Amino acid sequence: MEEVSAEEELVEPEAAAKILTVKTITVYKWVYERKIPFIKVGGSLRFRRSALRDWLREREYIPAKKND
C-alpha cells in the first residue's frame, strides 16, 4: 500500500476549518458555493491539505513596497 504524505492526507470538514481558521459551518457554505476545493467520498466531504493551503496562498495579498 502506498504511503500518503501529510500534505496529501484527506481531512474532514472540522479539520479543514482549523486549517482555514474559520468555523466548520463556513467550510460547508464555501463547499455549497463551490469556493474551496473538496472531494466527495461516498456521501462524505473530504479536503486535501495541500489543496487548501494552495487555495489560501492564491488569495494572499502582498502589498507592494513603497519607493521612498
Nearest to 44 by CA among 9, 18, 2, 10: 10
Where exactly are the structural domains of the chain?
Answer: 10-58
Radius of gyration of the chain (CA): 15
pTM, to two decimals:
0.79
What is the DSSP-derived secondary structure letter of residue 36? Answer: S
Share of the chain above pLDDT 90, in %: 72
- The number of beta carbons lying within 10 Å of the beta carbon of residue 52 is 20
pLDDT digit string (tens) for 6-27? 658 999 999 999 999 999 999 9
